[in-house]
Amino acid sequence: MAMKNYDVVVCGAGIAGIAAAHALSEAGVKRIALVEPGPVLGLTSDKSTECYRNWWPGPGDTMVAYMNRSIELMTAHAQRSGNRFLMNQRGYVFATARPEVVEQFERQALEAESLGAGRLRHVRSSADYIPARPEGLGSALDGADLLLDKAVIREHFGYLNADTVAVLHARRCGSLSAQQLGMYLLEEARARGVELVVAEFVGAETAGGRVSAVQLRAGEREFTVGTSALVLASGPYLKATAGKLGVSLPVVVEKHIKISMADPLGAVPRSAPLIIWSDPIDLPWTAEEREALAHDDDTRRLLAQFPAGVHGRPVGAGDQVLMYWTYDCPQDDHPTFPLTWDPHLPEITLRGMSVLVPGLAAYFDPMPKPYVDGGYYTKTPENRPLIGPLPVPGAYVCSAFSGFGIMASCAGGELLARHVTGGPLPGYAAALSPKRYEDAAYRKLLETWDASGQL
Ligand SMILES: Cc1cc2nc3c(=O)[nH]c(=O)nc-3n(C[C@H](O)[C@H](O)[C@H](O)COP(=O)(O)OP(=O)(O)OC[C@H]3O[C@@H](n4cnc5c(N)ncnc54)[C@H](O)[C@@H]3O)c2cc1C
């Protein structure tokens, strides 16, 4: 049988591979194979908290410019599709009970402003503040509102800890349905001829040093397809798939687990944005509970202070609330499935969230059965993605999307397609290309890089 030929073979049908195939087809590439052995969007891309933000630290404006572009593209898709993937712009709300954090909020907001995320506004009265619309888009607001007046905070965020002294509301942020976005992009791509091939990428052939063919396996059957362009979008298997090309990429996988549970009492309003507590937390326990926990080697750690950053939001049309706390995220070279987690994680997360939203304390005893799941962040040392050509001519990468792959996918796919088709590259292209590690000055910068932008 004659070998089938494609212009581009994309390996992996998570959100990154689908967005890449979509953008390539939009750019006019005709014969595209999207190769995936498992369910589409089924490995990491359906485990996300489904939030987006243009709120990113430096150095430089790379991440802000990149996310601004991705949000622009997602917004255009939302408008074109009648908002099929339920994108809203409720924002991200950071809250603190520590007066000394106010200065840090201001500094972050001014940095974000200088990088292009939008202006910082000091809210002095309710008249200065525009609450977010619960659903849909249509707000031109960006930047952030800083609320310091306790009465204004209580008026708009009465469900938060009563000791909250400051709220920083970042506005070009919100949430969406990642599955629906992915399916929308996949349907459009398939309508333009992208072919979904149920198979695993197992290796590549080269001719004259360039990619000339890709070896695939479907069950017991191995076969080869001809192509001059291969895109790795293999999520947590990036290191392994790049290894098949003889390429070593500086990525690790980091395990992240989240919970969701019913909130029939409405402790978190259904219209709430993503809410984040910016203070370290001593979990709330009664005196008797403390004593019992202190006696057991396994539970004594529950009395230690936990880091800032617990966050959550309402999800779906029912009464579920999603909660997530990146307090313990082990790293490894390769993922291990099925995922395992600390049996105390759900209770730790709920108790942490109850510091931010005291109404959640009603669910301590007995705690309703939570739904627990998660996945792996595939991360570079500086927590920026890898998009661009690999050292083997004809091979590209569109991956290492860490904890931001849903929000970053549209601009990631666009950038990848520009690399493959030789289109004009945006200003952030070089900073996201794997080639950046060839620059000695960049490698030096990595030694002191301290802003990951991870929540
Ligand atoms: C708990 C959690 C919360 C998150 N929250 C957010 C959030 O709020 N906002 C956000 O933007 N992002 C978030 N993320 C991150 C986001 O989910 C990921 O960055 C994104 O899903 C990665 O997409 P991907 O396509 O790169 O990887 P994946 O979705 O893992 O897809 C990779 C695909 O490649 C396939 N594959 C692997 N090896 C091969 C092979 N040899 N051949 C063929 N195919 C192969 C796999 O089967 C898989 O389907 C979160 C992630 C987690 C885990």
Asked if residue 261 and residue 167 are part of one domain, the reply reads: yes
Whether residues 129 and 96 fall in one domain: yes
User: For strand 5-6 and strand 221-227, is the pairing parallel, antiparallel, or unpaired?
Assistant: parallel
Given a cut of 70, the residues of the chain with pLDDT beneath it are: 1
Whether 133 and 202 share a structural domain: no
The pLDDT assigned to 1 comes to 64
Question: Residue written as tokens 């203070």?
Answer: 279
Q: What is the total residue count of the chain?
A: 455
In this structure, which residue's CA is closest to atom 25 in ligand 1?
14
**Ligand 1 contact via 174 beta carbon (within 6 Å):** no
Q: What is the pLDDT of residue 385?
A: 98
pLDDT at 3: 86
> Residue 311 and residue 373: Cα distance in Å, rounded?
16
Atom of ligand 1 nearest to the CA of 256: 1
The 10 Å Cβ neighbour count of residue 427 is: 12
Distance 330 CA to ligand 1 centre (A): 17
Are 313 and 360 in the same domain?
A: yes
Question: Is ligand 1 within 6 A of the CB of residue 311?
Answer: no
Per-residue confidence (pLDDT) for residue 139, from 0 to 100: 86
Query: Are both 150 and 275 inside the same structural domain?
Result: yes
From 357, 379, 401, the end of a domain falls on: 379
Q: Are residues 274 and 153 in the same domain?
A: yes
User: Alpha-carbon distance 189 to 41, whole Å?
Assistant: 15
Containing structural domain, residue 392: 5-50+178-250+380-447
In a domain, 73, yes or no: no
Question: Would you say 371 and 242 are in contact if contact means Cβ atoms under 8 Å apart?
Answer: no
Same domain, 134 and 276: yes
What is the 3 state secondary structure string of 367-409?
A: CCCCEEEEEEEEECCCCCCEEEECCCCCEEEEECCCCCHHHHH
Distance 98 CA to ligand 1 centre (A): 36
**Residue 82 belongs to some domain of the structure:** no
- Domain end residue (candidates: 348, 379, 410): 379
Atom of ligand 1 minimally distant from the CA of 257:
1
Distance CA 325, CA 414 (A): 31
At 40 the three-state DSSP class reads: coil
In a domain, 61, yes or no: no
382 close to ligand 1 (CB < 6 Angstrom): no
Distance (Å) from CA 56 to ligand 1 centroid: 20
- Whether 314 and 397 share a structural domain: no
| Predicted pLDDT at 170 | 98
**Ligand 1 probe mutation, 90, 175, 234, most atoms within 8 A of CB:** 234
Residues 229 and 110 reside in one and the same domain? no
Is residue 128 included in any domain, yes or no? Answer: yes
Given 355, 379, 403, which residue is the final one in a domain?
A: 379
Q: Does residue 300 fall inside a structural domain?
A: yes
Is the C-beta atom of 166 inside 6 A of ligand 1? no
Q: Considering the domain boundaries, does residue 425 fall inside one?
A: yes
> From the alpha carbon of 51, which atom of ligand 1 is closest?
8
Both 259 and 342 in a single domain?
yes
Residues 396 and 442 in one domain: yes
Residue with tokens 């959550």: 312
Q: Is residue 80 part of a domain?
A: no
Same domain, 101 and 160: yes
Regarding the beta carbon of 259 and ligand 1, being less than 6 Å apart is answered no
**Domains of the chain: total:** 2
51 lines ligand 1 (CB under 6 A): yes
The number of beta carbons lying within 10 Å of the beta carbon of residue 260 is 22
63: how many CB neighbours lie within 10 A of its CB? 28
Encode burial over 321-358: b for 16+ CB neighbours within 10 A, e otherwise. Answer: bbbbbbbebeeeeebeeeeebeeebbbbbbbbbbbbbb
CATH of the domain at 387: 3.50.50.60
CATH number at residue 313: 3.30.9.10
Q: Are 7 and 230 in contact (CB under 8 A)?
A: no
Question: pTM of the entire structure?
Answer: 0.97
Q: Is 62 domain-assigned? A: no
CA angle 397, 112, 455 (to 5 degrees): 60
